[in-house]
Amino acid sequence: MNDRPLETPARRSPALGRDLIGLAAIIVAAGLGYLIFPDNLALLTRIIGIALLVLSLDLVTGYGGIATLGQAALFGSGAYAAGIASAHFGITNPLLMTLCGIAGGMFAGLICGFIILRAHGLPQLVLSIALIYLFHEVANKASGWTGGSDGLSGISTDALFGVFEFDLWGRTAYFFGVGLLLMVMVLLRLLVRSPFGMLCRGIKEDPIRIAAMGASPKVALIKMYVISGAVAGVGGALNAISTQVVGLDSLSFTQSAEALVMLVLGGTGSLFGALVGTVVFMLFEDYVSAANPFHWLTMVGALLILVVLFAPKGIYGTAAAYLSRRKEVR
C-alpha cells in the first residue's frame, strides 16, 4: 500500500472530472424522472431510499470484501429509529429524523460488523442471515415501540426548512431524497479515495499483507461497517419520512437479497454501478409486474441471467471497461 504512487493534480483531474460528470448525470436523471413520472414520485423516492441501501452494501462487500445477506438490518434500524423518534418522542423535523436514522443505522452496523467479522467467507453469510432474522423478530416482538406486524404508524413530519410541506404528491420527499443522495455520493467518493478507503480495498485483496504492515483489518472493516450503517440509515429514514409508516418488510431477508442482486446487476466496487443497478432493477420490476402480473418474476429472472452471463462485471462495470478499452485502442 505504501508503494502506491502519490496522486498528483494530473492524476486527480480525470477522476474529478468523472465524478462531476457522474453527479451531473444524477441531477439530470432526477430531473427527467420528475418530468416523466410526475404522478409516481413515490416510486422514485423509494428507488432513492433503496439506492442508499445498495450503496451501503457496496461499501462492505464491493470495497471491504465482506460477505453479507443482512444489510437490510441497517436499513430497517434507520427507518425504525426515525419513525420512533417521530411517533414516540415528537421529533418531527425531517433533518433531525434523518440524524436519528443515521444513529440507528450506525448502531446496527456496529453490532452486525462486530459479530459478522468474527467469521470469514461462507460463515459470514450464515451470521448475516441469522442477524437479519433476529432484528426482524426483535422488531416484531417490541410491538409497543414498533407496531409489530401492523407496522409503525403515527409518523408525522414538519415542513422542510419550515417552508416545503411534505404533500400527497411526494414532491418535497422526492427532492429531499435527491439532495440526500447527492450529499451521500460526494462524501462516499471522498471516502473511497481516501487512505482509509484504499486500506479497505487492500484488506479485500490481501488481508494478511495488510496485517503484516501493522494495520488491523478487523478494526478497519468494523469502521467501514459503521459508515455503511450510516448510509443505510439515511435510506431508512427517507423511507420513514416519505411513507410515514415503517413495516417489518424493511427488515426482511428479501430486502437484503434484492439489494445484493441490484449491486451485482450494476457492478460491485463502484458507487455509480450501485445506483445503475438499483434504478434498472426497480424500474424493470415495476414495469413488468404491471404489464404481466402472473409471469413478471420470470422476466426479472431472465434479465438477471442475461446480465450475469454477458456482463459479468455488471451493467455499469462492463460499460466502463468497454469505454476504457476503446480509449486505449485510440
> Which sign does the torsion angle of CA 189, 195, 200, 206 carry?
positive
Neighbours of 316 (CB within 10 A): 21
On the 0-12 / 13-18 / 19+ scale of CB atoms within 10 A, 45 is buried
| CA 123 distance to own-chain centroid | 23
Cell of 161: 426548512
Q: Please give the backbone phi and psi of residue 246, each rounded to the nearest 5 degrees, phi first.
A: -125, 125
Look up residue 298 and give its amino acid: T
User: The whole model's pTM is what?
Assistant: 0.92
- The DSSP call for residue 159 is P
User: What pLDDT, on the 0 to 100 scale, is given for residue 330?
Assistant: 63
Residues in the chain: 330
Helix locations, the chain, DSSP H: 9-36, 41-57, 72-89, 94-116, 122-141, 143-146, 171-192, 195-205, 207-212, 217-243, 253-266, 271-291, 296-310, 314-329
Look up residue 262 and give its amino acid: M
Whether the Cβ atoms of residue 152 and residue 80 lie closer than 8 Å to each other? yes
User: What pLDDT, on the 0 to 100 scale, is given for residue 19?
Assistant: 77
User: What pLDDT, on the 0 to 100 scale, is given for residue 324?
Assistant: 76
User: What pLDDT, on the 0 to 100 scale, is given for residue 111?
Assistant: 96
User: What pLDDT, on the 0 to 100 scale, is given for residue 6?
Assistant: 43
User: What pLDDT, on the 0 to 100 scale, is given for residue 279?
Assistant: 94
User: What pLDDT, on the 0 to 100 scale, is given for residue 4?
Assistant: 42
Neighbours of 170 (CB within 10 A): 22
Between CA 224 and CA 233, with CA 227 as vertex, the angle to 5 degrees is 140
pLDDT less than 50: residues of the chain: 1-11
Cell of 250: 424493511
Instruction: Delimit the domains of the chain by residue range.
Output: 9-251
Q: Which of 116, 123, 119, 91 is nearest to 104 (CA)?
A: 91
Neighbours of 190 (CB within 10 A): 11
Neighbours of 114 (CB within 10 A): 13
C-alpha dihedral, 179 to 184 to 187 to 190, nearest 10°:
-110
User: What pLDDT, on the 0 to 100 scale, is given for residue 168?
Assistant: 82
